[in-house]
Amino acid sequence: MRIEQVNSTPREKRVAAHSHIKGLGLRDDGSAEPIMAGFVGQENAREASGVVVELIKSKKMAGRALLFTGAPGTGKTAIALAISQELGPKVPFRPIVGSEVYSSEIKKTEVLMENFRRAIGLRIKETKEVYEGEVTELTPEETENPLGGYGKTISHVIIGLKTVKGTKQLKLDPSIYESIQKEKVTVGDVIYVEANTGAVKRVGRSDAYATEFDLEAEEYVPLPKGDVHKKKEVIQDVTLHDLDTANAKPQGGQDIMSMMGQLLKPKKTEITDKLRQEINKVVNKYIDQGIAELVPGVLFIDEVHMLDIECFTYLNRALESPLAPVVIFATNRGMCTIRGTEDVLSPHGIPVDLLDRLLIIRTLPYTIDEIKVIVKIRARTESLAVDEDAIDVIAQSGVDSSVRYALQLLTPASILAGINDHTSITKEDVNEATELFFDSKRSAKIITEHESQFIV
């Protein structure tokens, strides 16, 4: 009899615009490596971002803001994403675009405040009383159904738990037995039951059964040490927005009127300022008692020139709040009119009073040699083989038009290479792709040359 292991199909990760970015690519002394972590060039901007990362980690950056300025395709969004990767998975990172604030259901300032709260984390440390051990016995005790009929109901469940130090037999409520069934607990599993809530968590199969050929066991864990009844520290990560929404939901009963009221509620509801202030009081109390720790995250607002004068005045106030995240703006505009005003010109479309609060980092256009390296990294990420002379042509198109257009040529060129029976992308494939797909400059030139044929 042959037994074959069936492996689950691996998840294919979609290649996105910044899939190749793995971090800021800095040395231990904080200086930028010319080519590292998917980044090429932009040494000054990356080094400045490294300083910002250190400030965020040491919690000395809260309430301050950063602005990335530079031409389109110079890596502003990539650096912001790299900052989030340097901070690690536990620090909240909330990316939005300036135009996201405009909604017919909810105020602009409310959208901004919601995203501010999403970018502030709270690490809560709780010491819980738990019963932990290996299940030695699991016996549900039945009784006659009090409502009559033929069926029987479970009155309680007897469970035996064993640790290195000893054993205990517990009599549990039938509602806890439902949790045990949901977790698919059997004799020989290591579990823990919270004393206050009755929540049951299956940790894994006891390693005493590791020698048996159990096809169902996915993980073997050692027998817990200490007593069955003990105190355990549990760490939970939430954002302030999670707390807002949890407390904003109506705590209605199970009657038909309260259920109808919940169904008829609009999808988006504004969370009142009063509720947020109450939550802030509780959060500050927890921080003072040492129960919780504040984790200021990052709110990244791309295309910041899309915000209007109302949003900018609100941001001025919000940045001064004691509970504020690190805010990173990005824009590719020069001198332009501030949205919401008729004739107020300002650098990057941001009012001067807000610009005074910002640390500004500039990104510079890439050279042809840097574009060549970016194309190679991108081709490796997309698993494409490219000839050296094809890379030269793509890099030149990046200089003539933009880096984005150059990188977008790779995939159509690879399809054309397949049609032309080429093992790798050749110069001819790239030239064919450029003839099929126009860049913005060539498209604009055609429009000006044939202006009479277009509707004005």
For 220-261, what is each residue's pLDDT tens digit? 888 888 888 887 777 778 888 888 888 776 555 545 555 455
Residue 5 lies in a domain: no
Q: Residue 115 belongs to a domain with what CATH number?
A: 3.40.50.300
pLDDT tens digits along 292-321: 888 888 889 999 999 999 999 999 888 888
Of 213, 236, 259, the position where a domain reaches its end is 236
Question: Based on the domain organization, do 131 and 231 belong to the same domain?
Answer: yes
Q: Which of 186-195, 272-281, 418-427 has the highest mean pLDDT?
A: 418-427
Question: Do 313 and 416 belong to one domain?
Answer: no
Are residues 388 and 405 both part of a single domain? yes
Q: Could you tell me the end-to-end alpha-carbon distance of the chain, in angstroms, rounded to an integer?
A: 77
Q: Closest Cα partner for 294 from 315, 331, 322?
A: 322
pLDDT, tens digit (0-9, with 9 covering 90-100), for 51-75: 888 888 887 776 678 999 988 888 8
d(CA 350, CA 363): 18
> What is the reported pTM?
0.68
Q: Do 309 and 374 reside in the same domain of the chain?
A: no
Domains: count for the chain: 3
Instruction: Looking at the structure, tell me whether residues 349 and 375 fall in a common domain.
Output: no
Q: Is residue 94 part of a domain?
A: yes
Q: Are residues 230 and 136 in the same domain?
A: yes
pLDDT of residue 69: 92
Q: Which pLDDT value is given to residue 17?
A: 66
Among 115, 37, 121, 112, smallest CA distance to 78 is for 37
Residue type, 298: V
Residue 11 confidence (pLDDT) above 80:
no
Q: Is residue 285 part of a domain?
A: no
107 inside domain: yes
In CATH, what number is assigned to the domain containing residue 398? 1.10.8.60
Helix extents (H) in 96-254: 108-118, 174-182, 240-248
Which domain covers residue 95, as residue numbers?
35-119+297-362
Q: Are 110 and 142 contained in the same domain?
A: no
Q: Provide Rg for the chain, Cα atoms.
A: 30
